[in-house]
Every structure is written in structure tokens, then in C-alpha cells.
Amino acid sequence: MNLLIKNKLRGLLSIIGSRFEIVFNIRKIVHDIREYRYFKKLMIKRGDTDFLNEYKRFKKSDTVFILGSGSSINNISDEQWKIIKQKDSISFNLFLVHDHVPTYHFHEIPIKHGFRDGEVPFIKKVLAENKDTYGSTVPVIFRYRRFVQYGLTKEYFSEIKDNVFFILPHFVSTTNKKLLGLYINILKFINRISGKTWTYPVFYHAGSISLMISFAASVGYKKIITLGVDLNDNKYFWDNSDNPYYSVCRDLRKFLQDNYERHVTSDPIAMKNSSNNLPVEEFLYILNEKLLNKNGIELLVGNPESKLNERLSQYKWEN
């Protein structure tokens, strides 16, 4: 029996690191669980609505397109847009200024007093000017921790406040791939035995795309296709247009384009130095291996030039 216990402990150590690392890594997991519980109680206290309890009102398909803001969005043909419109779609962040009307729109509020500081009043303006859509048919969903930490309430978005929802993902800041894989498995188990109404726990790591894919899996999509998630350069779909919204977007992302040759969430040095995270694509590969593949969920890439093509399959457009 003692030998069996020792072998189990050795196996655990091989997963989450050296003896010195083990306490540090466990503390990160415990910290996330405590923060999750704190913000979950706060959400209930403030009367803020968890979108994971509401998504069934909007989900119409088993296929979803996730729409980022990379320049490859401009390469989508009219026929391909017709296919996208026949299925569900999730847009996020500044894709908000695009003409396409998604099934859901997510927005991650920036860190206060950072280089994206003008973004919050800008999205308030865009949402208000498009309240007939975002105030009724398209839910607007915010990552809850950032929303609260910025000091916002639903009243700030008064024109659409009845259509504002929230999502609270789990988040562990680490570059330890084994720890991330282990934590995904732990939360899958906790989620299963706790009788949640959604299928899998929701995660965030390094960038918004991780949350979009995790959310899509959690609410039952079987085919997830990324579009405009290029990662291999610093270009956006609004770069060459006189559209007034697009001009503001250029100003909001100028710092990133001036300082990084590719999307910052895919830059390993920037991710490690700023938030001690993996590049976002590395987390997506872990998520794909530990959660999506094992549950029959396809994660596909719609842009043939995306960095994600290195490890993920290409989506084949219908004829």
C-alpha cells in the first residue's frame, strides 16, 4: 500500500512540477476557486445575470463561427458570409463595428488606465447607436471580473441594459502546460458532479479567443470554426477604411501595432512578462486535447493563413 501511495505521489508531481513548484501551483488553483466563488456571490448580490443560465434562448445551431478582428475577415466571400449567417456566430471585442450581426457579442473590458482606456466609452457609444440590435436580439456579454474591477454596472450601458449579461470563467495564470491540463480535468469533474446546466466549465487564458471557444463548447456546440483569429501578424480588418468607427479602432490598437509584429496574445515573451501566461494558441491546443477532442467537439480554422493551422484542421466551406 505504501508503495502504491508513493507511486501516485510521484505521478502527481510529474504532472504539476517539482516539489518546490507543487505548493505554488496548488495555491494558484485555490486562488482561482476562491476568486470564482467571490465573484459568483457578488453577481447574485448585484442581480447581474450569468449568461450560462440564458444561452438556450439564443442558440439555434450545433455549429458556431467565432469572429475575431484579424485582417483575414476582409477575405471572406459573399457566399461564405451567407453560410455564416445560416449558423450561429460569436463576435468579440472590436468586431462590434463590423456590419455582420452575430448571435452573441462578447466584450472584455480593458484594464483601467491602460493603452485601451478609450475603449469603454467608445463601445458604449457604438452599442447605444445600435440599440435596436444589441438592446434586443443580440445579447452583449461581458467577462465579469474585468467588468467589476473597472468599476462598471449595467446602468453604464443604460440604452441596452436589459440585454447585458455576464460570464465568469476560471482563470489560472501560469506557463505550466501540465498544470493547465490538470486543472481543466479537475474542473470537468467538479462540473459533472455538481449538476450544472451547462456541459463543461468555462476557461480564460491569455486572450478572449480562449473564452469564446470554451464558452462554445460549454453550451453544446459540436463544430467551432474560428475566423479572423490570425495571430501571425498585427493587422486588423479596419486598417484601410474611412469608416469613422474603423478610425477609432485604429487609434485604440495603435500601441499594439507599433510595438508587436504579431498579435500580442501570441507573443510568448509579451505573455510571460505581462501576465505569466502561455501564448494563447498553446492554451487552445491544450483545451482541444483535454476537453474538445475527448467529447467529440471539432475545433476548426476558417482562415488558411492563420497561425492556428499549425496544429488545428482547416474548415472546408460548403459548396
pLDDT at 244 over 70: yes
Instruction: Supply the range of the domain harboring residue 228.
Output: 48-314
pLDDT value, residue 60? 96
pLDDT band with cut points at 50, 70 and 90 for residue 19: low
pLDDT at 27 over 90: no
pLDDT at 187 over 70: yes
pLDDT band with cut points at 50, 70 and 90 for residue 182: confident
pLDDT value, residue 207? 94
pLDDT at 298 over 70: yes
pLDDT value, residue 197? 60
The count of structural domains within the chain is 1
Cell of 130: 445600435
pLDDT value, residue 114? 74
Domain CATH for 184? 3.90.1480
- Any domain includes 137: yes
- Any domain includes 241: yes
pLDDT band with cut points at 50, 70 and 90 for residue 11: low
- Any domain includes 101: yes
- Any domain includes 191: yes
Q: Are 52 and 202 in contact (CB under 8 A)?
A: yes
pLDDT value, residue 193? 81
pLDDT band with cut points at 50, 70 and 90 for residue 1: very low
Q: Are 90 and 229 in contact (CB under 8 A)?
A: no
Q: What are phi and psi of 14, to 5 degrees?
A: -65, -25
Q: What percent of the chain has pLDDT over 90?
A: 76
Label each residue of the chain as H, E or C. Answer: CHHHHHHHHHHHHHHHCCHHHHHHHHHHHHHHHHHHHHHHHHHHHHCCCEHHHCHHHCCCCCEEEEECCEHHHHHCCHHHHHHHHHCEEEEEHHHHHCCCCCCEEEECCCCCCCCCCCHHHHHHHHHHHCHHHHCCCCCEEEEHHHHHHCCCCHHHHHHHHHHEEEECCECCCCCCHHHHHHHHHHHHHHHHHCCCCCCCCCECECEHHHHHHHHHHHCCCCEEEEECCCCCCCCECCCCCCCHHHHHHHHHHHHHHHHCCCCHHHCHHHHHHHHCCCCHHHHHHHHHHHHHHHHCCEEEECCCCCHHHHCCEECCCCC
Mean pLDDT, the chain, whole residue set = 91
pLDDT value, residue 194? 77
Span 97-118, mean pLDDT? 90
- Any domain includes 2: no
pLDDT at 112 over 50: yes
- Any domain includes 22: no
pLDDT at 15 over 60: no
pLDDT at 3 over 70: no
Is 27 or 226 the better-scoring residue by pLDDT? 226
pLDDT value, residue 111? 85
pLDDT band with cut points at 50, 70 and 90 for residue 282: very high
Q: What percent of the chain has pLDDT over 70?
A: 91
- Any domain includes 178: yes
pLDDT band with cut points at 50, 70 and 90 for residue 276: confident
Span 236-254, mean pLDDT? 96
Q: Residue 74: which of 245, 238, 256, 263 has the closest Cα?
A: 238
Is 157 or 56 the better-scoring residue by pLDDT? 157
Q: What are phi and psi of 204, to 5 degrees?
A: -135, 135
pLDDT value, residue 223? 98
pLDDT tens figures, 262-273: 999 999 999 988
- Any domain includes 13: no
Span 213-226, mean pLDDT? 96
